[in-house]
Amino acid sequence: MSLARHRVSSTLSKKMIDVSKYSKRLLRLAQRYSIPKEKVEIVSDVAKRSIELGWEKEGDDTNKERMAKVKHDIDPPHILLRSKIRLEAGKDIVDDTFLSEKKKDVVRPTDSDHWTFLKFLLLHEIGHSELNHANRTLSTEASETEKIELKILNDVEADEWALKKVNR
């Protein structure tokens, strides 16, 4: 890789989305779904905060760049959003969805539009609650494959729900 290409690559990977700049808008959006502002936290480390809250145990979440998490089996749900998100990580998370390319283009973060992506991210988490995913359970004998399939199904449904709301 040439030095010039390395500099461009390094610069791109360091571009960050500062979620706190959008906190008032995100809180207003959550309140439209009856989620009070104290139930939406912008934190530096989502996995660490979920452990502090007792949502999971140390080592359960190995994703060091987790952008968001919702505790949706409580009313109202409690949402954690990462305070700083690498722009490239935001693009990657959208690219990993099962949305069509056209739909991905709507919510993929760009240098000039972080808001649409953040709105999608928050609405995805709210979607888990609105779609009642907490009550969708498997038997205790469910295989790992069945658990993964249910997680994927829930995420696909939350993505589609969020996308419909983003476009409003």
Residue given tokens 């809250």 in the structure block: 53
Whether residue 93 is contained in a domain is answered as: yes
Whether residue 147 is contained in a domain is answered as: yes
The helix or strand, by DSSP H or E, that contains position 85, with its residue range, turns out to be: strand 84-86
pLDDT tens, position by position, 10-32: 444 579 999 999 999 999 999 99
Residue given tokens 């000039």 in the structure block: 112
| Rounded Cα gap, residues 154 and 72, in angstroms | 12
**DSSP class per residue in 11-76:** HHHH-EEEGGGGHHHHHHHHHTTT--GGGEEEES-HHHHHHHTTSS-TTS---TT--EEEE-SSSS
Which among 38, 37, 36, 60 has a CA at the least distance from the CA of 47?
A: 60
Whether residue 106 is contained in a domain is answered as: yes
Whether residue 29 is contained in a domain is answered as: yes
Whether residue 3 is contained in a domain is answered as: no
pLDDT tens, position by position, 116-125: 999 999 999 9
* Biggest CA-to-CA distance, the chain: 55
What pLDDT does residue 166 have?
A: 93
What pLDDT does residue 9 have?
A: 41
What pLDDT does residue 3 have?
A: 41
- Rounded to an integer, the average pLDDT of 110-118 is 95
What pLDDT does residue 14 have?
A: 76
pLDDT tens, position by position, 39-97: 999 999 999 999 999 998 887 777 778 999 999 989 999 999 999 999 999 999 999 99
Backbone angles phi, psi at 16, to 5 degrees: -120, 150
- Which range of 8-17, 30-39, 128-137, 146-155 scores highest in mean pLDDT? It is 30-39
What pLDDT does residue 61 have?
A: 77
Report how far apart, in Å, the C-alpha atoms of 82 and of each of 9, 138, 165 are: 23, 29, 21
Report how far apart, in Å, the C-alpha atoms of 19 and of each of 26, 93, 116, 118, 156 are: 9, 16, 12, 8, 24
Supply the range of the domain harboring residue 160.
14-166
Residue 106 has pLDDT above 70, yes or no: yes
Residue 5 has pLDDT above 50, yes or no: no
**Which of helix, strand or coil describes residue 82?**
strand
Whether residue 5 is contained in a domain is answered as: no
Whether residue 8 is contained in a domain is answered as: no
Backbone angles phi, psi at 68, to 5 degrees: -160, 155
Whether residue 6 is contained in a domain is answered as: no
Higher-pLDDT residue of 138 and 17 is: 17
Is the model's pTM score more than 0.85? yes
Domain count, the chain: 1
Task: Give the CB-side neighbour count of residue 39, counting CA atoms within 13 A.
Answer: 20
Residue 38 has pLDDT above 60, yes or no: yes
What pLDDT does residue 108 have?
A: 94
